Amino acid sequence: MFTKIILAMKNLTFVFVLFSYVLSAQIHLAPPEQLWPQTFAVIVGISSYSEMPLRYCDDDAFHYYSFLKSAAGGSVPDKNIVLLVDERATKVNIVASLEAIAAAAKPTDKMLFFFAGHGMQGGLVPVDVNLKTGDNILHHWEIKSIFKKSQSNNKLAIVDACHSGGMEESWYIGMVSDLLLGYQNTGIAMFLACGANEVSKERSDIQQGFFTYFMVQGLGGKADFNNNLQITLQELYSYVYHNVRANTGNEQNPMIVGDYNPDYIIR
């Protein structure tokens, strides 16, 4: 009888050890962050340019950062967000950060790039740009090139800058060669503050640019037109488009371009 009890206890111990091993192996092979989609973001806001400083672009960046950190924005962890404000927003830092999140994002993950600052025909203006020589301009095609290389099927560039609509042209240029090279052109949306020949306006009473202000308001719930507690990319665009136009005398016309699903749930 005593021998049988010892054998039973040994068998029970073996089963417990085996179960623990299997459980630990499963945990090791599938850590929590790999079980559901993640959000990776680079957020840039530049007000303190040495020439032509702006007033509220740094605030725009912080407002969008705060949204992503909120429950409504998905409570994105700090390790998945790169925040580059003013002197940190050099071209090298922006490009390196974009390349890092592009490499990290899996097909089901979301890749976000937010930029608030000066824009120009053909590119965006990092803090260390030399406008006389053109050194350190962040060209539209450079942003697109990084986006194309990412495995993510949900890529969104949000650009609150003058002449940002010029990115539409960069989207269509080179599409044939992209396909031949096997680059990923689908799942990319570019949400732009204004047309290619327009300026993006800011106002002192809200201490933000109109575009970012209404975008954050829309993501906060005001763009949920059908009250289903979800906001699609098309709903957000419609809300921002109409409100920005109404508050700028129709002089600023936001755009959205790319190859994307308008019913994609952005919040």
Q: pLDDT tens-digit profile of 150-178? A: 999 999 999 999 999 888 776 655 554 45
Kind of pairing between the strands at 188-192 and 123-124 = unpaired
Tell me which residue range forms the domain holding 13. Answer: 1-30
Q: pLDDT tens-digit profile of 218-247? A: 999 999 999 999 999 999 999 999 999 999
173 inside domain: yes
267 inside domain: no
266 inside domain: no
Q: Is 173 in the same domain as 234?
A: yes
Single-letter amino acid, residue 95: V
Q: Which among 124, 150, 129, 149 is positioned nearest to 139, based on CA atoms?
A: 124
CATH code for the domain in which residue 80 is found: 3.40.50.1460
The answer to whether the predicted template modeling score (pTM) of the entire model surpasses 0.75 is: yes
Single-letter amino acid, residue 111: M
Domains held by the chain: number: 2
Kind of pairing between the strands at 202-203 and 138-139 = unpaired
239 inside domain: yes
Q: Is 72 in the same domain as 119?
A: yes
Single-letter amino acid, residue 62: F
264 inside domain: no
Q: Is 53 in the same domain as 22?
A: no
Percent of the chain at pLDDT exceeding 70: 81
Q: pLDDT tens-digit profile of 51-73? A: 899 999 999 999 999 999 999 99
Helix (H) or strand (E) segment spanning residue 42: strand 39-45
How many CB atoms are located within 10 Å of the residue 88 CB?
15
Q: Which residues contact 263 (CB under 8 A, 6 or more apart)?
A: 232, 233, 234
What order do you get walking across the sheet with 188-192 strand by strand?
81-85, 39-45, 110-116, 154-160, 188-192, 255-259
Q: Which pLDDT value is given to residue 222?
A: 96
| pLDDT-derived band at 36, boundaries 50, 70, 90 | confident
Distance of alpha carbon 97 from alpha carbon 110, whole angstroms: 15
